[in-house]
Amino acid sequence: MPALDLSLSSVELTRLICDIPSVSGDEKSLADAIFAEVSVLNHLEVYRDGDTIVARTNLGRAQRVVIAGHIDTVPINGNVPTRSLEIDGEPFLWGRGTVDMKAGVAVQLKLAAELVAPRVDITWMWYDHEEVDADLNGLTRLARTRPDLFAGDFAILGEPSNGEVEGGCNGNLRAIVRTHGVRAHSARSWIGENAIHKAAPILTRLAEYEPRDVAVEGLVYREGLNAVRINGGIAGNVIPDLCEVEVNYRFAPSRDLAEAAEHVREVFAGFEVDVVDAAAGARPGLDAPLAQEFLAAVGAEPRPKYGWTDVARFSALGVPAVNYGPGDPHLAHHDEERVPLQQIDAVERGLRAWLATS
């Protein structure tokens, strides 16, 4: 089993963690290494569910903060092991997972080991299967078996945010918009009805669609409605009788799932619309007292999170949550994924200053 050393700096710990491959479904080696380190820390109560690990302080503090990070990555593409590089004089760590989100996990592990008597009780969560279907997600499983572990007054997800605070997140909905026709030989196309041709108005509506910018609790979320896949066709000499356009709707957290689905159906009125996947967004929650203290301590100006993240899981449970971690989210999943060393240090200092201050 690979070994970690929580006495190392967060930067060196990031390198170690990234060099333990943990593509979704193959997290066990990294989970074993994390469990081996945190389970011997006397100030933490440790619980493991598959490859999800939870470690908690129980100091009787008046408030509790949940700090979570996923340990899996998207597939490796020649970008492990990690390596150091410099861009315009700034040092980076390059490799799969450096941004999404093992640098954040490294910071969390470092602080979990060293904050023996924090100002609030802390629940640390390291979970599996974030990069794949939601029903496989370690937090989904944990919410079914141990919902009590999510209890808290505030939550932080270590998703990459360039070391800034990103409040809440957009919701995410996928729908299939269908057209139907009649099959025929393409040499006698007038006998049939071409379902692909009938999809033209769907694409026109998408091209003409004007997404909203929506202010929610002081943050402006940008929406988007886009075609992401088209399926249709039977053979090179057959008029197709079915065409399916898959659309993805990213919607502001001011809308719930029912409102988001209704909006998509309104845009494609007259067509068959089947919502196949949906996840609610999360409101920023920055008016919570702990959130205000956190923002002041780290000196960050909050921004909206355009993508969907697991902060929505906490928000749905009534726990206000933000994204705060090192790394540029634009480089998440990129083959040139890399994190500035300065951001790893800055996020560690920010969290440490807030959590350790009495």
Q: Are 218 and 303 in contact (CB under 8 A)?
A: no
Smallest Cα–Cα separation from 112: which of 6, 2, 3? 6
**Separation between Cα atoms, residue 280 and residue 302, nearest integer Å:** 21
**Separation between Cα atoms, residue 358 and residue 353, nearest integer Å:** 10
- The residue from 72, 153, 159, 348 that is catalytic is 72
Q: Which residues of 286-295 are buried (b: 16+ CB within 10 A; e: fewer)?
A: bebebbebbb
Whether 193 is a known active-site residue: answer: no
Whether 72 is a known active-site residue: answer: yes
- The residue from 37, 51, 121, 130 that is catalytic is 130
* Backbone φ, ψ for residue 209 (5° rounding): -65, 135
Active-site positions read 72, 130
